[in-house]
Structure 1
Amino acid sequence: MQKNLLQVLGSACLLLTLSTTHAQVNLDTVLPVDPQVRIGHLDNGLTYYIRRNGLPEKKVELRLVVNAGSILEDENQRGLAHFCEHMAFNGTKHFQKNDLVSFLQSIGVQFGADLNAFTSFDETEYILPIPTDKPGNLDTGFLILEDWAHNVSYTTQDINEERPVILEESRLGKGAGQRMRDKYFPVLFAGSKYAERLPIGLDSIIRNFSPDTLRKFYHDWYRPDLMAVVVVGDVDPDKAEALIKQHFAGLTNPSPELPRIYADVPARNQSEGLVVTDKEATNYNVELLYSFQKKQPVVTLSNYRNDMLKELFRIMIGQRLAELTQKENPPFLNASAGFTDIVRQYEAFYGSALVGKDGVDRSGNALIQEIDRVRQFGFTDAELTRGKKSLLNSMEQAYQERDKTESGDLVDEYIQNFLEQEPVPGIANEYRYYNELMPGITAAEVSALTGELKENPHYLVLLTGPDKGNFPLPSSDSLLAMADHASAMTVQPYEEKAVATDLITDKPKPGTVVKESKNAALGTTELTFASGVKVILKPTDFKNDEILLQGFRKGGQNVYGAADRYNAAYASEIVQAMGIGDFSPTDLKKINAGKTVTVTPQLGALSANLSGSSSVKDLETMLQMVYLYCTNPRKDTALFRAYVSRRVTALQFLMANPQAAFIDTMQQTLYQGNPLAPILVPHADYFKNLSADRILQLFKEQFGTGKGFTFTLVGSFEVEKVKPLLEQYLGSLPAEGKTFGFVDNGVRPLEKGTTLVAHKGKDKKCLILKFYNAQVPYSESSDLALDGLSEVLNIRIIDRLREKIGGIYSGGTFADMSRYPYGNASLVLQLPCNPDKKDTLLTAFREELDKIKKEGPTAEDLAKVKAQWQEKHVTDVKENTYWQEALHSIYLLDATPGATVDYLGRISALKASDIQAVAKLVTPESQSFTAIMLPAE
């Protein structure tokens, strides 16, 4: 019944019917609270939210939310709100330093990926997912939350040992963006504490503050009346409530209490321009930012409807701006406009554009004039219809999946309700509101949002970008004059281009299934068509309204030589930029408005690939797009030139970025200048000699035949019901065409002990990249063992390089083993750090690696890795994406089905000696390549 309703929701008939009920809606109605969430308050002021949710099974998402952030810091505490967050992981009443992380790793919770925290201007949040498959885990999870709330140890030794870790986090954020931000924030937030309370704080304070200053912040602001505990997951609500009361009812508020102030952001009393540049910036961006205004709380249906208007405005003006980027000589690379709420309780209208090749004036004029076009002439009814379809479709999707929503997707709603009083009426109510309110919204109402700019006419026009003498830049005064002039220019009404309503009018003759078989272990059905196309079908019930498609055949970029290097590398992007059939990308967006559908071609190194996703009702549209990509990629010279123009402009200053320049140098050394080496850092020159004709020719060679193509379909469908569509659009693909195999183009990374040192950038920053590359026979057991080696090393890196040495904030290893195009394996280490610590860190890493080679990983570390993998697999195996990737590995890369079916058994069987053996095989120091970026001399 629901699916039938959803299929007609977007129709004009239903919209017309619903519009007749709009007059009966009482917009003064106060929004209710979703009955599925239990909201309560303890006597000490602590707020709690509890929601039973069964996905994923045997897992609970816990959050401790503190309504306090850097905005509350005293002048001598700048950065200490964030420091408090770090200290929660460095010793509490019930967990000594490192014991907390170690315990959570042992039950399958991964530090960083699962266990995490963050601090912003106005809040601090602690993220703790707890598997509940073992007795006691949930109780321990609540004990951890309680310790974070009022039992962090704050020993002087722990504080001093954490200083270098936070300084490393600060170091990571340094660069052109930070230097420019430090200049424009005081102007953007003039008269407000937001101008000088970035959560990372000041390095000088982090190095030198008294421990008592940090303890004071914790004492003043970590208090129950500013806290919320959020519990969402596979848990009995009564038990969760009892645990909350057990662990938090005893907390007390400090006396006297400091008032929790909210920083003001004064309105502008005049417009101004500001130009901020940096020698290491890579792109120019022009922004128009009007004064921040107090947000109206969303309490009633009227408030809720106003938010719908703003979302429609964002979608509709976004479509107009995107159309401008499709011109042969686009005025900007991309642009957006709408309302932003980057600080608590305020919002502001903004427009932003990435400057095109013709400079700041043309980009700024185009952005401002498009906003003025809306202000003067409004949006068209056709634009409104598309915007409504898009929003209704998004709400449909959420409603359809209401019983398949994962706990992690629900917690943020309750956090925002606590922090900013955002409503939580529940998806059933929101779905009803959209259907009741959307039909009555007019284009004039949405357009009228620009009227607020007349009431608040002052703005900041900001230009940020590279400090390049050969690029003409305005002064701050002339930048403002440009904006004022653009606002005064005459604009014409928007012209709506008519677009066909059907992607394909003459449907292809259906293909014939010549073979059908089933794989009971994988739960799949395999269809083979007369054309040679194979389709692997795996119906699932993980989602109610999600279908994933992937198509692949051997071939890819390696088929072509150096002369076609860049034509092949960027063929997929360019075909997407030109469109399919009779439709440009802009046309496709219009015709697919209100649909949940994407299709993306990608020419990889070894294969031609098509990936897509759709709702149940839009499956045919997805298959039609696949058919058109394969049979009718579109040539559009103007759009081809627009693509080239955008890429050349975007990349012209990329090498000003020290890390980009370093990686480019490293890549040239690692692959010894081989022109067929993988592209990590694109150059503007790569795009200047591309040929649209040659790109279409090789694209058709790779995608234009069904011969050798295998498609997988995973998700919410029935095999017999989708067969006719598969016959129509996949079985009908041409049977003629070239066939390819996996091609080894001879590219090999350096495999001898070599060190590259490159000096880049003005900041005192170091980046270590260390590669172990080996040509070794592929096996699934070795592949798993290599992954295990990487995960064990990451545990050791956190424990020793971060916690004991204090030399990094983040960093680690990742590993890969491949069968094609030749047997090879790699382990890569990445460590951003202080240049003074590079030798210490490299020595410590090698010692940890050598210890594994000599003794194998410890039983404790191996058990942690297995627990994390097992816990992740419990969730992954019930995701459509997991099965899509597994089928890709089986049917393209020759993985054995048993590697997927018996994954838990393989994990259980993995031994320390397996990891030890693969470490010896893959990581001989004599074959390592080390690249080190240091500051410019």
Structure 2
Amino acid sequence: MRLLLFWFLPALAFAQPDSDTLRLPKLTPVGIAKRQFQAEFDITYVTLANGLQVALRPVTGNSTNPADSNVYIKLERLHRPTAYSGRDVTTLRIASYLVRMSGVANLDPGQLETYLKNRRIYVSPTGNRFSTGFDLQTGKSQLEAAFQVLHAFVTQPSADTSAYRAALRKLIAGYRRPATIRPAREPSLEEIVSDTLRQVLNCPGDQLTVDDLADISPVRAQALFREAFGNANQIRCTITGNFELESVIGLLQQYPGNWPSTAKKTRLQLRDDCSFPVSRLQKVYYLPKATSAVVSEVHLTTYKTVAPGETKLIEVFARIFRKRLSERLKQDGLSGQVLVAKESGGLINGVSQRNRRVGLLVQVTCQPDQVDAVNAVVNAELKRLLQEPITDAEVEPFKARAAQNEAYARRSGYVWNLLLWSSIYAGDWPIQSNAGAKAATAENLQNTARRFATTKDVISVTFLPESRR
């Protein structure tokens, strides 16, 4: 008997408990449909046989921690909000959260947390009006385990509806709790202006409410998640950090390469004509507690008229125009806080990339009695763009800044993760983040400026104190 016990002890000592084992079916690596390398940014783009697109950027260390060994993986299933009902859009936003908190494959929620903690894998669900997915961070040594977890989330999400209901109750409780801890804060003037502009530009806010969550069906969330991730050719993945490129590509072929896919691009048919509700709109809002005025103009053009690579020039032009406008206001004795920024139509109302609009937001905060004078200066500076070309001297500082930004990004896996993620939404796939700005000429920028100075589609919204009504 002692001999038998001694014989079984090694097996008992090294056997892992079921709660620390993620059971997956045997998988066969798939092929690569397309592979490209962008030398300027050292990015490799891979399209797997099932259509899933991946951007990979190895980075060793970063500016604050040269020994950083983290790897950042972002997985996003893109969709257009116009393809879903309002309730389904809200449901999709939290679907990945419910899946993340409900266990996966053979692991219940508690076992999954232990499994991830033991391997130092950090998984955060993501969701907005345009996508649902996961952010994952781990060390180089745990990459295969990380891909196994992602594979389980996509192909074997929990079927336990009671776990989904529990996760939803926990989420709702978290939304309710802050209101009992601190009193509600009065929104600032900037927040009121931003929210109002979103409504005018057909851009609903991203903040969910308890009522939104209470109206969600966990069963529907489960079904929408399965549908969304049942088509790999609509999934985008970015991987940055300290990893071996060929090793990770092998893991992609082994795990994401086996995700289901169809040739049909589901849920992407638009019912939107890609236009704003009203062009050339002029409106005044009176705010009860405001003491300042805000002059806002959005100058719209379409991407159909924008040359390839010019989208980055709009950002440079916006900075130059802000500098010109600030100097002119100061010369005319007008106090004002000036904001000029590019607003992508693709983000404003979720329209198709082919027809999406881009807006140049010009916003000046000033004294109420200065509104007419500020409007006159804005119009004068727009006309000046047609008469006085942008000079090379105005362009150079921004080209230098673009080069500095690129130099910093090359040393940071986390920053590259953000850049690649942004490229998914901007439609610049592959990414062209700083290429346009670095190569910008005064002539290029003058052509960009002309589009906004001559557009007939201008939305003008002025905010005044209630006392000025």
Report the CA distance shift for 1:899/1:529 in structure 2 as closer, same or farther (over 3 A). closer
Equivalent residue for 2:58, pick from 539, 542, 545: 539
Query: Conserved in 1, the CA contact under 8 Å of 2:287 and 2:463?
Result: yes
* Cα distance between partner residues in 2 of 1:573 and 1:560: 19
Equivalent residue of 2:310, what SS? helix
Instruction: Supply the AA of the counterpart residue of 2:445.
Output: I
Equivalent residue for 1:752, pick from 255, 279, 300: 279
Alpha-carbon distance, 1:727 to partner: 4.4
Alpha-carbon distance, 1:820 to partner: 0.8
Structure 2 partner of 1:690? 216
Matched, 1:613 2:137: yes
Query: Conserved in 2, the CA contact under 8 Å of 1:601 and 1:610?
Result: yes
Report the CA distance shift for 1:738/1:852 in structure 2 as closer, same or farther (over 3 A). same
Structure 2 partner of 1:783? 311
Instruction: Supply the AA of the counterpart residue of 2:240.
Output: V
* Cα distance between partner residues in 2 of 1:781 and 1:929: 26
Alpha-carbon distance, 1:579 to partner: 5.6
Identity of aligned residues (%): 19
Equivalent residue for 1:766, pick from 286, 293, 311: 293
Structure 1 partner of 2:90? 566
String of CA shifts for 1:322-368, please: whole Å, max 9, x gaps: xxxxxxxxxxxxxxxxxxxxxxxxxxxxxxxxxxxxxxxxxxxxxxx
* Cα distance between partner residues in 1 of 2:344 and 2:425: 17
Query: Conserved in 1, the CA contact under 8 Å of 2:334 and 2:370?
Result: no
Q: How does 1:444-843 map to 2 (within 5 A)?
A: 502=20, 504-515=21-32, 518-522=35-39, 523=42, 529=48, 531-543=50-62, 544-562=68-86, 564-576=88-100, 578=102, 580=104, 582-584=107-109, 591-593=115-117, 597-603=121-127, 605-634=129-158, 635-647=163-175, 657=187, 659=189, 660=191, 663-671=194-202, 677-680=203-206, 682=208, 684-722=210-248, 725-735=251-261, 739-740=265-266, 742-746=268-272, 748-777=275-304, 778-801=306-329, 805=333, 807-809=335-337, 811-816=339-344, 820=353, 822-843=355-376
Alpha-carbon distance, 1:626 to partner: 1.9
Alpha-carbon distance, 1:596 to partner: 5.0
Structure 2 partner of 1:126? none
Report the CA distance shift for 1:718/1:611 in structure 2 as closer, same or farther (over 3 A). same
Alpha-carbon distance, 1:775 to partner: 2.8
Alpha-carbon distance, 1:601 to partner: 4.2
* Cα distance between partner residues in 2 of 1:573 and 1:845: 45
Structure 1 partner of 2:9? none
Structure 2 partner of 1:929? 459
Instruction: Supply the AA of the counterpart residue of 2:300.
Output: N
* Cα distance between partner residues in 2 of 1:862 and 1:530: 43
TM-score normalized by structure 2? 0.75
* Cα distance between partner residues in 2 of 1:733 and 1:891: 20
Query: Conserved in 2, the CA contact under 8 Å of 1:554 and 1:740?
Result: no
* Cα distance between partner residues in 1 of 2:157 and 2:453: 45
* Cα distance between partner residues in 1 of 2:143 and 2:331: 50
Larger Rg: 1
Q: How does 1:129-168 map to 2 (within 5 A)?
A: none
| Structure 2 segments unaligned to the other structure (5+ residues) | 1-16, 63-67, 347-351
* Cα distance between partner residues in 1 of 2:80 and 2:243: 30
Instruction: Supply the AA of the counterpart residue of 1:547.
Output: V
Greater relative CO, 1 or 2 (CA 8 Å, sep 6+): 2
Query: Conserved in 2, the CA contact under 8 Å of 1:556 and 1:702?
Result: no
* Cα distance between partner residues in 2 of 1:797 and 1:771: 15
Query: Conserved in 2, the CA contact under 8 Å of 1:647 and 1:684?
Result: yes
Structure 1 partner of 2:386? 853
* Cα distance between partner residues in 2 of 1:805 and 1:613: 51
Matched, 1:919 2:435: no
String of CA shifts for 1:254-287, please: whole Å, max 9, x gaps: xxxxxxxxxxxxxxxxxxxxxxxxxxxxxxxxxx
Equivalent residue of 1:811, what SS? strand
Q: How does 1:431-446 map to 2 (within 5 A)?
A: none
Report the CA distance shift for 1:554/1:656 in structure 2 as closer, same or farther (over 3 A). closer
Q: How does 1:60-139 map to 2 (within 5 A)?
A: none
TM-score normalized by structure 1? 0.40
* Cα distance between partner residues in 1 of 2:370 and 2:358: 29
Query: Conserved in 1, the CA contact under 8 Å of 2:54 and 2:237?
Result: yes
* Cα distance between partner residues in 1 of 2:206 and 2:365: 18
Equivalent residue of 1:781, what SS? coil
* Cα distance between partner residues in 2 of 1:546 and 1:553: 23
Alpha-carbon distance, 1:545 to partner: 0.7
* Cα distance between partner residues in 1 of 2:447 and 2:257: 47
Equivalent residue of 2:260, what SS? coil
Instruction: Supply the AA of the counterpart residue of 2:275.
Output: R
Query: Conserved in 2, the CA contact under 8 Å of 1:555 and 1:743?
Result: no
Query: Conserved in 2, the CA contact under 8 Å of 1:758 and 1:932?
Result: yes
Alpha-carbon distance, 1:701 to partner: 0.9
Structure 2 partner of 1:146? none
String of CA shifts for 1:764-803, please: whole Å, max 9, x gaps: 2334432222234143333133122111022224434468
String of CA shifts for 1:433-476, please: whole Å, max 9, x gaps: xxxxxxxxxxxxxxxxxxxxxxxxxxxxxxxxxxxxxxxxxxxx
Q: How does 1:309-324 map to 2 (within 5 A)?
A: none
* Cα distance between partner residues in 1 of 2:437 and 2:89: 40
* Cα distance between partner residues in 2 of 1:842 and 1:712: 44
Structure 1 partner of 2:409? 876
Report the CA distance shift for 1:921/1:553 in structure 2 as closer, same or farther (over 3 A). same
* Cα distance between partner residues in 1 of 2:429 and 2:277: 31
Q: How does 1:905-916 map to 2 (within 5 A)?
A: 906-907=436-437, 909-916=439-446
Alpha-carbon distance, 1:680 to partner: 4.6
Equivalent residue of 1:930, what SS? strand
Alpha-carbon distance, 1:751 to partner: 4.8
* Cα distance between partner residues in 2 of 1:643 and 1:873: 38
Q: How does 1:287-326 map to 2 (within 5 A)?
A: none
Alignment coverage as a number of residue pairs? 429
Instruction: Supply the AA of the counterpart residue of 2:301.
Output: A
String of CA shifts for 1:203-251, please: whole Å, max 9, x gaps: xxxxxxxxxxxxxxxxxxxxxxxxxxxxxxxxxxxxxxxxxxxxxxxxx
Alpha-carbon distance, 1:540 to partner: 3.4
| Structure 1 segments unaligned to the other structure (5+ residues) | 1-498, 672-676
* Cα distance between partner residues in 1 of 2:308 and 2:97: 33
* Cα distance between partner residues in 1 of 2:26 and 2:334: 66
Instruction: Supply the AA of the counterpart residue of 1:539.
Output: P
* Cα distance between partner residues in 2 of 1:899 and 1:579: 38
Instruction: Supply the AA of the counterpart residue of 1:874.
Output: A
String of CA shifts for 1:298-344, please: whole Å, max 9, x gaps: xxxxxxxxxxxxxxxxxxxxxxxxxxxxxxxxxxxxxxxxxxxxxxx
Instruction: Supply the AA of the counterpart residue of 1:540.
Output: V
